[in-house]
Structure 1
Amino acid sequence: MDEVDWAAMRHAYGSADKVPDLLRGLASSCPDERESALDGMYGAVHHQGDVYDSTLACIPFLFALITHPEVPDRGALVELLVSIGGGDADESFDGDDRKDEYDDGDEYGNDGAGAGDNYAMARAAIRAGAAVFAELIEDRDPEVRRAAPCALVRFLDEPARVLGLLGERMETEPDRRVRPALVEGLGLFARRHPAAAAPAVDSLIALSVAPDAPGERLAALGQLAGCAPERLPSDLAPTVIALLRARSQESAEPEEPERPATDTLIGQLRVLRPADEEGSRLLRTLHSALGDCTADRIALLNGQLTSEAPADRCNAVWMSAGLFREWRASYEKPIALIGEQLDADDTRLREAAVHVLDGLFELAAPAAEHLAAAVAARPESWVRHWERGAPTLGDALKTLARTGDPRAVPPLLQLLKQPVVPYDLGRIVAYVGPAAAPLAPLLRTRLGDVPLDAADTYDRAAPLLLALSALRHEAAVPEVLRLLPDEVPDRSALVEAAVRTLGAFGPAAHEAIPALRDLLTSDCAATAAAALWSVEEDAKTVLPVLRRELTSGRPRQRQAAAEALGRLGASAGAAVPALRGTAETDDAGGGRVWERTAAACALWDITGAPEPILPVLRHAWHENPYTRGTIAACLSRMGRAATPAHDLLRTELGTTRRHLARSGGYGGGDILEDERLRREAAFLSGGPARVAELTLVSMARQR
C-alpha cells in the first residue's frame, strides 16, 4: 500500500494522501475506528457513488481485506465493493452508461471521459476478482454470507455456476438472516439472465409456498413481483398479510450484530432504521416491484396498518410514503389508518406517522381527528427547538394546519404570544384559510416588534409578511412600510418580501404609493411595479418599468416583469413585441423556460390571441413539469380558446404517475402541486358546459 502514490490521486474533498489511513482503519480491532473508516470511504473516496482514481486504487486492498477471516465487519466491505462496481445502479449497467453524467468534469480536473472510464474500470476490476464471492458464500461469518449472494450474481459472469452455488447454499444455509439474501440473489439472477431464468423462477415459486418459512416466502414473493409478476398468486394481498402476521408471531428473530454508537453518518442512519429492518427490506422490495399496481399496494398497507405488531405497522407507514409521493390513487383508508398510529405507545411509530402525514398537506385530512387529538394532548410538541437556528413548528401542529383544519388556530395563536415565534409559523397560516383570520392582529403586532437593526431581521419578518399577505390584513400597512428604510440589514430580500405583501393588500395600501414609486429604480423594480399596479393601476408609471425589466433585468426580475405585464391586461399593449420575443426565445439549454412561460401567459392576458402562445405552452409543458400548474391556470383563463391544448390535460388525467415524481429525490411540496394540477385539469376537462362557463369568465376578464 505504501508503494502507491496516493498524494497524486484525488477523492471528493481533495488529495487522497490519507486514504491509506482509512484502509488500515477498516482492519482495526476497534469497532469505532472501523466504522469511522468506513464512513470516510463512503463520504470521500466513494462520495455519493462517485468513482475517483483513488477509489480504483482501493479495490485490490478491499479484496485483500475481505479474504482475511480475522478482519471484522467484512460483510460491510463486500457491500462497499458492490457499490463501487455499480451494483446499486440499474442491473444492465455495464460501466459506461453513466459516462454522460460527468461530461462537464469536476473541480479537480477530471474530464468527463475520464470519469466515465473510472466506472467501467471499477466494474471490470471487481469482475476480475469476483471468484472470491463464490468462496464467501460459505464464509463462517453470517454477515459476509448475507452480502455475498448479490455480489456473486452481479459480478461473476458464469451464470450456470452462479445458479448452482445459490441453489446449493439455499439447501444448507442455517441462518434465517442469510436465507432472504439468497432468495434475493435468485431474483436478481432471473432479472440479469432472462434466457437462463427458468430454474431460478421455479425455485422462487417453490420458496413462495414453502411451509413454516413466512420470511422466506415474503422474500420470494417480492422477487417474483420483479422478475415474473405473472406467476404471483391471485390473492397476493391476503397472502402477504397472512405471512406478515405469521412472521410476527414467530420466535424472536436472531439479533443483529451489535454496532458502535459513533458520531458518523453511518451511525446516524442506523438510528433511523426501522426496528425490524429485515421486514422493512422485504416489504420495500415487494412494494417497489409492484410499482403502479396501487390497488394491491393499498390493500397491503391496509393489512399492515391493522397488524398487532408495532414493527409491522411502522414498516407500513414508511412504505406508504413512497407510494403517496409517486402514484395517484384514492388513499383515504390508509391515511386514516396512519392517523390512528398517532395514538400508539411506540414513539418510533408515532414519529413515523406524523412525518409521513406532514408531506401530504390536504390529503392528510382523513387523519385530522387524530392529529387534533395529538396536538391537544401534547402542547410541549407544538414547537421544535434546534441546537442552531430558530425554533420551528412541531410536526403534528404543522400537519394539522396544512390540512386546513381550524383546530390548528388556537395553538398558533398561543405561539404568537411567545417571546420567539417559530420560524415557519407564517408560512403555515395560508393553508388554514379564512379560519386563520383571528391571527391577523397579533401577526401585525409581532411584525411591528421585529427589530430593524438585527442580523436576523429578515428571518423574523419574512414569515409574518407571508401570513399577513395570505390573510390580506390591510391594517398592517404601517408595520410593513417600516421595513423599507435603507439601514435595514439584508435589505434586498426583506424589501422584496415587504413589497409583495403591499401588493397583496391592493388599493387599501394607498399610503405605500410613494415608497413603491421610490423602488422603481431598485433591484426589485419589477416586484415594486407589480405591487404599484395592484395599489393604484397607474399604467403610465408602471409600464415603462416593466418593459425595461423584461429585457434588461435579472432572470427572476424578467419573469416577475412578464407576470406583472399580464396583470395589466390590455393596458400593456406596448409590451407585446418584447413579450413575443421572450416567449419565442430559442433556449436550447432550457434555462429560461419560466420566462418563456410567463411571457406566453402574459400575451394571452394582454391580447386574447391564442395562436402565438399555445405552441410555447405546449413545449414548456413537456420541457419542465414544474411549469404545468402555471400553464393550467393560463388555460383556465383562456376558456374555449384553450381547446387545442386540452389533450395535455386529458393525458395528465389519464396518467397514474404524479407529474413531479422522479428518481433520486423529491420536493416537500410535490404532492400538493400534483393534486392542484389534477384538480385544475379535471375542472378544465369538464365538457362543453364547463368550456362555455370558462369562455364567459374569460370574456369578462378581457373586458
Structure 2
Amino acid sequence: MFAGIDEVDWASMEHAYGPADDVPALLAGLASADAAERERALDGMYGAVHHQGDVYACTLACIPFLFELVADPAVAERGAIVELLTSIGGIELAEDDEDELDEDEIEGAANYAMAAAAVCAGAEVFVGLLADDDRGVRLAAPLALATLHTEPARVLALLRGRLPVEPDEEVRLALVEAAGRLALRHVPVADTAAHWLSRLAMQEYAPGLRLAALAQLARCAPGALPVDIVPRVADLLRDLRAAHPPAGPGTRAAAEAAAREGVQSPTLIGQLRALHAAEAAGPGTPWATDLLRTLHGALGDRVEDRVALLTDQLCSPDEGQRLDAVRMSGGLIRVWRGPYDELVRLVGEQLAEPDPRLRDAAAHLLADVRVLAGPAADALAARVAVIPGTWIRQWENGQPSLDPAVLALAGTGDVRALPVLAAVLEGPVVPHDLGHAVAALGTAASPLAGALRHRLSGIARGPSARGGAMPLMHALASLRADEATPEVLRVLRGGTEAEAPRVRQSALRTLGAFGPGARGAVRELEALMRRSEGREAVDAADALYSVSGDVDAVLPVLTEALTAEEPPSVRAASGLAGRLGARAAATAPRLRALLGHDDLRVRVDAALALCEVSGRSAETWPVLLAAWTQNPYVRVRVADTLARTGAAAAGSGAAHALRAELSSVRRHNARDGGFGTSDIAADAHLLALCRQALRDPGGRG
C-alpha cells in the first residue's frame, strides 16, 4: 500500500498548521488496526490537511492514497474515508464566487477545481461500494456517487436498483437522499428522480423511507408534494413510533451515558462522534430528526405547514421527538414571520417535563423569542417558581447570566419576574443580561430602582466594574432613574482597567437617558468633553446635550468630529447632528460630503442626519435605498426616519421598499449560522415603522 508515497516531497508543502511532512503518518494512521489511532489520523486530516474545507497542495497529493485505502476491504472504517473524499472533491464555486475572487484566492480556487477533477476521475470506485460488506461504507457511498460521479443517469439507475436489495434501513435512506442530491445537481435527471421519489412516498413502503422520499421531494421538486403533506407526515411519525418505540427518560439517559463512555476521545472527531452517539442513544429512530430537518428546511417559507408539523411533533408522546420539535421551532421562528401563539404555548408546556434537555431547550428558545413568548408566560412563571436559588447560570468560561426561563418571563413584560430580579440583586453576582430583563419590563420595574442604585454604589470603583456596573447602568437607564446620577458619575470617574472606555461609554449613555434629571452631571460632562478626543468626546457631548440642551456647547465638538478619519467618531457625530436637527444646520455641507464615503454605515448615518438637519429627504433617499438593499440591518433606522418625517413620499422607491418589506414572510435580519436575541423584536419594530410610514394599519405581524 501507498506505493510512491516516499517520492512525494511532503516537506515542501504546507497544511493549515505548517509543513506537511506529517501527512504520510496520518495516511498510515487511517489504515491502522487501532481505533484510537484511526480517529486521531482522521482528526488530523480534517483539522490540518482539509482544514475547514480548504484544499492545499498536500490535500491534492493525498487523493490517490485515500482511494487506495477505500479500495482495500482490510481497512476498517472506510466509510469515513469515503466521506473525506466526498468533502475534498465536492466543493463547487458558484459563478458569482469566481467573479469575486481576489488574487490571493485564485490559487485556492484552482486547488478546489483540481481536487474535484481528481476525485471525480476516481469516482467509479464508489460504484462497487454500494454493495460493500461494511455498513459504514454503504452509508457513505450513495452521497459520494451523487456528488462526484460524472454520469448522473447511471448513478440514479444504480441507486434505484440497490434500494430493493439493501437490508439496512439507514442505508436505504442514504440512497433516497442521494437521489435528491442528483435531482438538485443535474437537471437532465431531475424529473426522473422526482418521479421515483413520488412513487416511494406514495406506495406501501416503510414509513421511514416514505418520510425520506417526502423530504427529498420538498428539496428538489416541491411542486410534486402531496397537498396533504402535513397529515401525511404526522401519520408517518405515528407509524414510526409504533414500529420503533421511543426510550423512556431513564433508559435514554443510561444509553446516552454508555454511548459517551464508549467513544471518549480528546480529538474533535471523537467529541463529535460522542455527541452523535449520545443523541442517537436508546431505542427510537434518531435518523428521523435529520429527515424532519431536511423537510422543514425544504419547505422554507411555507410557515403554516411547518407550524402544523411542529405542533403535531410537540404533542408527541416521544420526548426525543418533542426535543427535536423545540429545536426546529427555533429555526422557524427566528427566520420566518408568522402566527406562533399556539406553537409557543406548546413549547412552554415542555418546561414542566422531567427531561432536563427538553426543559432547557424550551427555556432557551423562549428567551430567544422574548416578545413572542407571551403565550408561555404562565408556564414560565411556574418554572421560575420551582427553581429558586438557581436563577443565575454561572458558566465556566463566560459571564454569569440569568436562567433563560427568568429572562424569557421578563421578556414578556410579566411582573411575576420582579421578585426574582429583586432577589438576584441581593445575590453575590450581577448577571450580564440583567439590564435587558429590566428594560423588557419597562416602568413595571420601577420598584427595582433603589436596589439597582444601591448595588451600583457598592461596585462602582471595584475591579468588576465592567461585569457588574454595565448591566446595572443599562437597567437604570431604561427606568430613567435619574436619582442614581451620583452613582453613575462615580463609575464615570473611575475605572483603570482595559475595559474602562466601554464602562465610561455606558455611563455616558445612562446619564444621557436620565436627561434633565441629571443636571448635577453637567460640569463633569463639560470637562470630560473638553479633555477627550474622538468618539468619547462625541459621547460626552451627546450626554451633555441630553442633560442641558445646550446646543452651543456641543456644536464645536460635533463639527470637528464630522471631519475625523475614524468612522466610529464620524458616525457618532452624525447621530448627534440628527438629534439636533435644524439647530445643526451648519453641519449640512459636511454631511452631504459624507454621502460618498467608502463605509456604507458612515453614508447611512450621514444621510439620516442630513434628512433631520435639512428637512429634505430627496437628496438622501438614493443613498438610503441602496443601503436598504445592501445591508438589511439599517432598515429599522431608515424606516424610523421615514415614519417620523413623513418622507416616504420622497419617491416611489421609498414606498416600494416599505411595501416589499411588509409583504415579505422572511425576517429582515434573518441570517444563516447566527442569531441575535434582539432580532425578533427589531423585526417586529421594523414592520410597525413601515406601516406607520405608509399610514398602513394592516400588514403581517
State TM-score, norm by structure 1. Answer: 0.90
Map 1:596-607 to 2 at 5 A: 596-607=603-614
Deviations 1:66-87 (A, max 9, x none): 2222322222222222122235
CA distance in 2, matches of 1:304, 1:217: 17
Decide which of 531, 538, 548 is 1:526's aligned counterpart. Answer: 538
- Once the two structures are superposed, the pairs formed by residues 328-343 of structure 1 within 5 Å of their partners are 328-343=337-352
Which residue is equivalent to 1:148?
A: 141
- 1:22 CA drift (Å): 3.0
User: Match for residue 250 of structure 2?
Assistant: none
Picking from 491, 496, 499, the partner of 1:488 is: 496
**CA displacement at 1:118 relative to structure 2:** 1.0
Deviation by residue 1:496-535 (Cα, 9 ceiling, x = unmatched)? 1111111111111111112111222414001100000011
Matching residue's letter, 1:548: E
Q: Distance in 1 between matches of 2:183 and 2:442?
A: 53
Q: Distance in 1 between matches of 2:565 and 2:147?
A: 53
Unaligned runs of 5+ in 1: 88-92, 105-110, 691-703
Match of 1:512 in 2: 521
Shift of 1:687: 4.4
In structure 2, what is the equivalent of residue 189 of structure 1? 182
Name the CA distance, whole Å, in 1 between partners of 2:265 and 2:100: 34
- Counterpart in the other structure of 1:392: 401
Aligned residue in 2 for 1:698:
none
| Distance across 2 between alignment mates of 1:55 and 1:100 | 24
TM-score between the two structures when normalised by the length of structure 2 = 0.91
Per-residue Cα deviation, 1:374-409 (whole angstroms, up to 9, x for no partner) = 111122441111223432212211222222222222
Aligned partner (choices 622, 629, 633) of residue 626 of structure 1? 633
Q: Displacement, 1:310?
A: 1.4
Provide, for residues 458-483 of structure 1, a one-character-per-residue CA deviation record: whole Å limited to 9, x for no partner. 22221111111111111111111112
Conservation of the 8 A alpha-carbon contact between 1:95 and 1:123: no
| CA distance in 1 between partners of 2:623 and 2:193 (Å) | 51
Deviating more after overlay: 128-137 vs 155-164: 155-164
Equivalent residue number for residue 461 of structure 1: 469
Check the 8 A contact 1:415/1:421 in 2, yes or no: yes
Correspondence for 1:281 among 282, 287, 290: 290
Equivalence for 1:375:
384
Checking the alignment, whether the CA contact within 8 Å between 1:566 and 1:606 is kept in structure 2 is yes
Letter in 2 for 1:596: R
Match of 2:588 in 1: 576
Asked if residue 262 in structure 1 is aligned to residue 255 in structure 2, the reply is no
- In the alignment, structure 1 residue 549 sits paired with structure 2 residue 561: yes
Letter in 1 for 2:366: L
User: Structure 2 counterpart of 1:164, which letter?
Assistant: A
Contact 2:617 2:650 in 1 (8 A): no
SS at match of 2:310: helix
The answer to whether the 8 Å contact 1:649/1:685 transfers is yes
Q: Which residue of 2 aligns with 1:561?
A: 573
Shift of 1:672: 2.5
- Alpha-carbon distance between aligned partners in 2 of 1:390 and 1:687, rounded to the nearest angstrom: 43
Cα 1:320–1:688 change in 2 (3 A) is closer
> Which residue is 1:133 aligned to?
126
- After superposition, residues 20-169 of structure 1 pair within 5 angstroms as 20-86=24-90, 93=92, 98-99=97-98, 102-103=101-102, 111-169=104-162
- The equivalent of 1:423 in structure 2 is 432
SS of the residue 1:262 aligns to: coil
Query: Which residue among 204, 207, 228 is the counterpart of 1:211?
Result: 204
Deviates more, 1:384-393 or 1:20-29: 20-29
Q: Is the 8 A contact 2:577 2:609 kept in 1?
A: yes
Deviations 1:141-168 (A, max 9, x none): 1111111101111111123321221122
Q: Relative to structure 1, is the Cα distance of residues 553 and 191 closer, same or farther in structure 2, using a 3 angstrom cutoff?
A: closer
Mean alpha-carbon deviation: is it higher for 492-501 or for 661-670? 661-670
Counterpart of 2:596 in structure 1 is 585
Change (3 A) 1:568 1:359: same
Comparing 623-632 with 676-685, which one deviates more in the overlay? 676-685
Letter of the aligned partner of 1:558 in structure 2?
V
In structure 1, C-alpha distance between the alignment counterparts of 2:398 and 2:696, rounded to whole Å = 51
| Distance across 2 between alignment mates of 1:287 and 1:689 | 28
Kept in 2, the 8 Å contact 1:221–1:286? The answer is: yes
CA distance in 1, matches of 2:88, 2:95: 14
Secondary structure of residue in 2 paired with 1:307: coil
CA contact (8 A) 1:601 1:631 kept: yes
State the shift of 1:680 in Å: 1.5
Provide the C-alpha distance between the structure 2 equivalents of 1:262 and 1:530, rounded to a whole number of angstroms.
54
The correspondence of residues 287-366 of structure 1 with structure 2, limited to 5 A, is 287-366=296-375
CA 1:594/1:64 → structure 2, altered by over 3 Å: closer, same or farther? same
Counterpart of 2:547? 535
Change (3 A) 1:432 1:44: farther
The one-letter code matched in structure 2 to 1:547 is: T
Change (3 A) 1:607 1:444: same
Number of aligned pairs? 673
Confirm or deny: 8 A CA contact 1:86 1:95 kept in the other structure: no
Using the aligned pairs only, state the percent identity.
50
* Alpha-carbon shift at residue 664 of structure 1 (Å): 4.5
Is contact 1:343–1:350 with CA below 8 Å preserved after alignment? Answer: yes
The structural deviation recorded for 1:601 is 1.8
Deviation at 1:20, TM superposition (A): 3.2
The alignment partner of 2:167 has SS state of coil
Alignment CA distance shift 1:384-1:2 (3 Å): farther
Matches of 1:570 and 1:237, distance apart in 2: 57
Q: Deviations over 1:409-454 (max 9, x none)?
A: 2111111111122222223321221122122211111211115352
Amino acid in structure 1 at the alignment position of 2:434? L
User: Counterpart of 2:138 in structure 1: which amino acid?
Assistant: R
Q: In the alignment, is the contact (CA less than 8 A) between 1:51 and 1:84 conserved in 2?
A: yes
Q: Which moved more, 1:213-222 or 1:498-507?
A: 498-507
CA pair 519-80 structure 1, distance change in 2 beyond 3 A? same
CA distance in 1 between partners of 2:350 and 2:438 (Å): 26
The AA in structure 1 aligned to 2:401 is T
- State the 1:269 CA deviation: 4.0
Which stretch has the larger CA shift, 111-120 or 374-383? 374-383
Q: Which amino acid aligns with 1:552?
A: A
C-alpha separation in 2, matches of 1:272 and 1:244 = 24
Q: Aligned pair in 2 of structure 1 residues 2, 385: CA closer, same or farther (>3 Å)?
A: farther
Report the 3-state secondary structure (helix = DSSP H, G, I; strand = E; otherwise coil) of the residue aligned with 1:359.
helix
2:555 counterpart SS class: helix
Secondary structure in 1 matching 2:396: coil
